[in-house]
Amino acid sequence: AVIGRYKLSVQSTSSGSSSPANLGSFVLLFNPWSSGDDVFMPNKAECEEYVLEEFGIIFAGNKNHINSFGWNFGQFQEDILNICLSMLDRSLYYRQDPATDISHRNDPKYLGRVLSAMVNANDDQGVLLGNWSGNYEGGKSPSSWTGSGEILQNWKKSGFKPVRYGQCWVFAAVLTTVLRCLGIPTRTITNFSSAHDADGNLRVDEFYDASGNHLDRAADSIWNFHVWNESWFSRSDLGPSYSGWQVLDATPQEESGGIYQCGPASRNAIKEGDVDLDYDCPFVFAEVNADCMYWNYDPTTGKKTLIFSKSTVIGQFISTKAVGRDDRVDVTNDYKYEEGSTKERDIFKKARKKLGLEDKFDPTAPTPQETDQKPDISGKFKVAGTLEVGKDLNLILVLANLQSDVKTVHVNMTAWSTVYTRRPVHEIWKNSVSVTLSPKEEKQFPIKIPYTEYQQQLTTDNTIQVTALCHVEGGIQVLVQRDITLDNPAIDIQILGEAKVNQEVDVEVIFTNPIDTEVRDCVLQVEGNDLLRGILEIDIPPLKASEKSSTKFKLIPFETGSKHLLVHFSCDKFADIKTFKMVNV
């Protein structure tokens, strides 16, 4: 049966005349507990997590430094079901052909695809407008949201105008809310070093100028992380071996069938390189498998020179929240065979062949110019000290001469603030040095970027990309780079006393200003299902250098069980400090 709202009436006949009586209405949803359903999930604990759980954890940061934050999916909160159902009636599919659209609403793969389009505002005045510029005027910065409820309610309240602004985890979190609400088991997945392959050739190209600046000139990109969804259902169109977890992605990256939508792509098909199967497998396959090409680009002549290529960079530490626990689970092996194994390369070749790429340039096969010349030096950035907003950033550039003769190296270094997609936003620092390396010598160059230098330039993602382009005399160039994610200062929540239904309990939130200047415009936002209604907002007076603030407020929980309280703190110097606390009521 198609899901949605049904009217129920009864017809009674007495002495030849019949009169219908309306008994009311009900909403039919998918049922993962029922073995006959397309979304049947045999494991009860997984049903609890992926359909009934209203709290989630989303992983972010970068591959060297994974961090996480809580999210309030809130799929069973007031009016959310109505909003989810009205979302179906606002899709392009429904507007073009209502009867056909409704007749397909028994099919989770159809609804997953439709909703992946509706969660972004492209094409259809959907829920969220994406913005990756680093400037979020005219809306809320994507990292300031703490739950889907506020976004969905705002969308409805505004007369269904797109809510400003979203980035990948916001799109994914809202899609999780909608699909769980409709009974389809769904979770968020974070892929670190995620490829956005715009031209479908299973490789991403990055360009750097002679000074080592990362040029924002390619359609391709490698994101520090990207968040998408997996939903659980059978694939009657592909066969049983492709059932199970299906990838959906509501972030508007590339059009599919003329609309910004993505999936469902069977996770098994991705792992086996079956990129010719519906839907959007080549794009998802590239997100976790693409090869990377790093080029030196000369803007005056338009000449590009390959610096090096890597086939093991993309798709690392693919993460999701554990079932029934607040831990990270690594699912990389469910997406691909082990990096560097022959099986993994065979699958890559199989995918290239299916996409008709086998005759085209293969980035992993060395070209004659590359086999002749190996780099004479190696380099890396090491972190010295803590990576915290408010503290100076200390790094060490380590250069090693791999040859048995002296090498002279000219090094151009830059540091840029970026958004999490690694799009450069502001230059923070640059420097150049010339170095002589004796045979087999290793040298270390300490780098210090003071807080005062990066503070104004930092985006809300707290990310900095450091690059050193090394010009070796008589040899090929070597590119050294590192993406740094800085941690926000900590914030602490204490529940003062025992939390009981319909009884007041005090909560204390403590924040210490870690820097030596005053912070102002301090705002605390608190939300938590069954602990308080809506979002509590508290203004906090300015805090002097190193001053500690304690803010107390009361909760009156209205349901028993383990609940999560989400706290979000922001001020003029620190954007979006988040934490959560489990409360047993």
Residue-wise pLDDT tens digits, 247-267: 999 999 999 999 999 999 999
Of all residues in the chain, what percent are helix, strand and coil, respectively (each to 5)? 20, 40, 40
| Residue from 99, 74, 335, 130 nearest 252 by CA | 130
Decide if 198 is inside a domain: yes
The neighbour count for residue 450, using CB atoms within 10 Å, is 12
For residues 204 and 85, membership in a common domain is answered with yes
Decide if 66 is inside a domain: yes
> At 23, is the pLDDT very low, low, confident or very high (cuts 50, 70, 90)?
very high
Predicted local distance difference test score (pLDDT) of residue 583: 96
Asked which of 320, 355, 390 is the last residue of a domain, the reply is 355
DSSP class per residue in 203-215 = EEEEEE-TT--EE
DSSP class per residue in 406-457 = -EEEEEEEEEEEE-TT--EEEEEEEEEEEEEE-TT-EEEEEEEE-HHHHTTT
Would you call 175 helix, strand, or coil by DSSP?
helix
DSSP class per residue in 99-159 = HHHHHTTT-HHHHHHHHHHHSB-TTT--SEEE--SS--TTS--GGG--BHHHHHHHHHHTT
Mean pLDDT calculated for residue range 44-61: 97
For residues 418 and 556, membership in a common domain is answered with no
Out of 168, 281, 470, 571, the active site residue is 168
Predicted local distance difference test score (pLDDT) of residue 371: 44
Asked which of 422, 454, 485 is the last residue of a domain, the reply is 485
Predicted local distance difference test score (pLDDT) of residue 16: 77
Contact 24, 6 (CB under 8 A): no
Which residues line the annotated binding site?
A: 289, 291, 339, 344
Mean pLDDT calculated for residue range 125-134: 95
Q: What pairs with residue 456 in β-bridges?
A: none
Asked which of 461, 485, 509 is the last residue of a domain, the reply is 485
Angle formed at CA 210 by CA 207 and CA 215, multiple of 5 degrees? 30
For residues 404 and 518, membership in a common domain is answered with no
Predicted local distance difference test score (pLDDT) of residue 154: 97
Predicted local distance difference test score (pLDDT) of residue 550: 96
For residues 348 and 460, membership in a common domain is answered with no
| Residue from 214, 102, 115 nearest 171 by CA | 115
For residues 498 and 471, membership in a common domain is answered with no
pLDDT of 45 above 90: yes
Decide if 1 is inside a domain: no
**Cα(220)–Cα(462) distance, rounded to whole angstroms?**
22
pLDDT digits (tens, 9 = 90+) for 163-213: 999 999 999 999 999 999 999 999 999 999 999 998 888 999 999 999 999
Average pLDDT over the chain reads 94
More confident residue, 101 or 11: 101
In this structure, what token pair is assigned to residue 15?
């002495």
pLDDT digits (tens, 9 = 90+) for 79-110: 999 999 999 999 999 999 999 999 999 999 99
Predicted local distance difference test score (pLDDT) of residue 217: 81
**Cα(222)–Cα(493) distance, rounded to whole angstroms?**
36
pLDDT of 412 above 80: yes
Residues contacting residue 227 through CB under 8 Å, at least 6 positions apart = 58, 59, 60, 168, 169, 171, 172, 173, 188, 189, 190, 191, 251
Q: Identify whether 216 is a catalytic site residue.
A: no
Question: What is the share, in percent, of the chain residues with pLDDT greater than 90?
Answer: 88
For residues 438 and 535, membership in a common domain is answered with no
Burial category of 125 from C-beta neighbours within 10 Å (exposed 0-12, middle 13-18, buried 19 and up)? middle
* Strands 203-208 and 291-298, bridge-based pairing: parallel
Distinct helix (H) and strand (E) counts, the chain = 13, 30
For residues 387 and 345, membership in a common domain is answered with no
For residues 153 and 206, membership in a common domain is answered with yes
Mean pLDDT calculated for residue range 292-307: 90
Q: Identify whether 483 is a catalytic site residue.
A: no
> At 438, is the pLDDT very low, low, confident or very high (cuts 50, 70, 90)?
very high
> At 123, is the pLDDT very low, low, confident or very high (cuts 50, 70, 90)?
confident
Decide if 345 is inside a domain: yes
Residues contacting residue 544 through CB under 8 Å, at least 6 positions apart = 513, 518
pLDDT digits (tens, 9 = 90+) for 441-500: 999 999 999 999 999 999 999 999 999 999 999 988 999 999 999 999 999 999 999 999
Residues contacting residue 551 through CB under 8 Å, at least 6 positions apart = 508, 509, 510, 511, 524, 538, 540
Decide if 10 is inside a domain: no
Contact 328, 68 (CB under 8 A): yes
For residues 73 and 150, membership in a common domain is answered with yes
536: containing domain: 491-584
Decide if 439 is inside a domain: yes
Backbone torsions φ then ψ of 228, nearest 5 degrees: -135, -170
Contact 184, 108 (CB under 8 A): yes
- Regarding pTM above 0.85, the answer is yes
Q: What pairs with residue 541 in β-bridges?
A: none
Predicted local distance difference test score (pLDDT) of residue 363: 52
Out of 38, 47, 84, 226, the active site residue is 226
Decide if 450 is inside a domain: yes
pLDDT digits (tens, 9 = 90+) for 352-399: 999 998 766 555 554 544 445 689 999 999 999 999 999 999 999 999
**Cα(483)–Cα(490) distance, rounded to whole angstroms?**
22
| Of the candidate ranges 66-70, 304-308, 382-386, the one whose mean pLDDT is the lowest | 304-308
In this structure, what token pair is assigned to residue 294?
């790093």
For residues 294 and 176, membership in a common domain is answered with yes
For residues 144 and 287, membership in a common domain is answered with yes
Domain count, the chain: 3
Look up the CATH number of the domain holding residue 380: 2.60.40.10
For residues 563 and 439, membership in a common domain is answered with no
Which residues line the annotated binding site for Ca(2+)?
A: 289, 291, 339, 344
The neighbour count for residue 456, using CB atoms within 10 Å, is 9
Decide if 29 is inside a domain: no
> At 54, is the pLDDT very low, low, confident or very high (cuts 50, 70, 90)?
very high
**Cα(201)–Cα(359) distance, rounded to whole angstroms?**
12
The neighbour count for residue 269, using CB atoms within 10 Å, is 22
* Count of CA atoms in the C-beta half-sphere (13 A) of 173: 29
End-to-end CA distance of the chain: 38
Q: Identify whether 571 is a catalytic site residue.
A: no
Predicted local distance difference test score (pLDDT) of residue 370: 47
